[in-house]
Amino acid sequence: MLSLPLLRHTDVPPRVTENFILSGYRFPNYSLRQCLVSAFHPTNETGNFWTHFLPIFVFAFHFLEVFTWEGAPEPSNPFFYPFWNYFLGVLYLLLASSLAHLLNSMSLIIREICFFVDYGTISAYTVGSSLAYYYYIHPQAGIPEIGFGGLNSTQRKSLNANDEAWPSTSSPTQFQLFFESLYIPSSCLVAIICVITCCNTRQCWRRYRYAVRTLVFLLPFFVSSTPVFYRLSVSSPSSSSPYLFSTMAAFFYRHCFWLVVSALFNISKIPERFSPGNFDIWGHSHQWFHCCTFLSILDELQMIKVEMQALLLNPTLVLSPAMPPRLPGPTLWSTYGVMLLLQGCIACIIAGFGWQAYQIYAPAQKKKCHKHR
């Protein structure tokens, strides 16, 4: 049989149950084929899978639109390195999340590893966002050399190329020093802390696991968003690009709004809290959590695209001599290298927690196999 009967919460280990979800459980021991088929059958994980799998195609559509802009450089141009890293971060997040919900019924060990990988990709996404913010939204972001449109290195452009946004002195401020030296390393460090904390909630703090996982990701949000906060504080709608500034600010506020709504769904467990059993298959809080997180990502993407378009397509915004020097342009090491190093660290962390899960659950599974024999 490709599809096994669904179980109630009293028929599965407490480890697999979700608060206020009473039925629709697939556990135990689905095969890989049965897990894949279950995506097309109503279980309490079906909606969780589709609400992060289908958005992959929506996100890819909006992402690829950038390369159709008139005058945009080739997709392989170094200017797009941070953007590609951001795309990979979002892709890994959505794909890992959807597959974690689809494959977690194969065994308790695989279930743990699936969600360890899920937490790891969320952290990697935050660093991908940080790279995009650093090179496109950072107050000193610019394009030293992009080699298109007839512009030379002395005609560098920036969204914030107005003297009001910066002090007239050339000495760097504390904010500038943080951005240039500590911003990306801080984002990576916080991402690693988040992975370790979220993985720990699989064994510790079980009662408050949803609140801990939600709150712990507030830290990377505040760290990665510091360029946006600074831009909003030093710029104003009366600057040289009032429309672009207001558009960027609107997308960022919407991004924050959807993050707050998604956090409320994840912690409160509404609506199933008020009607246990009636939202087991469709409409429970985790599905709404997925929808809201994707909407926040989509607004974040639009915000980044606004900044990129201003940098690429507005030749009137020329670097002023009174402005501080721009950041060096993105390189393979400063973008792909950072993400690769981070992924290596996260993989080591996941391997450690995976081994710990194996030691906990493998003996019980072996006993169960011997009993069936």
The residue ranges of every structural domain in the chain are 32-371
> Alpha helix (H) ranges present in the chain?
32-38, 46-64, 81-103, 108-132, 174-177, 183-200, 209-216, 218-224, 226-234, 242-268, 285-313, 332, 338-372
- Asked if 201 and 118 count as a contact pair (C-beta separation under 8 A), the reply is no
286 is in an annotated binding site: yes
User: Which of 289, 97, 108 has its CA nearest to residue 202?
Assistant: 108
Note the pLDDT of residue 49: 97
- Which of 61-65, 159-163, 364-368 comes out lowest in average pLDDT? 159-163
Task: Please say if the pLDDT value at position 131 is more than 90.
Answer: yes
Q: Which residue has the higher pLDDT, 325 or 343?
A: 343
- Asked if 298 and 59 count as a contact pair (C-beta separation under 8 A), the reply is yes
290 is in an annotated binding site: yes
| Averaged pLDDT, 175-198 | 87
Note the pLDDT of residue 166: 40
Task: Please say if the pLDDT value at position 81 is more than 70.
Answer: yes
Note the pLDDT of residue 210: 82
Note the pLDDT of residue 153: 37
Q: Which residues pair with 157 in a beta bridge?
A: 318
Q: What is the band of 161 on the pLDDT scale with cuts at 50, 70, 90?
A: very low
372 is in an annotated binding site: no
Q: What is the band of 174 on the pLDDT scale with cuts at 50, 70, 90?
A: low
Using alpha carbons, list the distances in angstroms from residue 327 to 126, 137, 149, 301, 323. 21, 11, 21, 22, 12
Phi, psi of 318 (to 5 degrees): -100, 145
Q: How far apart are CA 27 and CA 308, in angstroms?
A: 46
Task: Please say if the pLDDT value at position 238 is more than 60.
Answer: no
Q: How far apart are CA 307 and CA 138, in angstroms?
A: 10
pTM, two decimals, is 0.86
Average pLDDT, the chain: 83
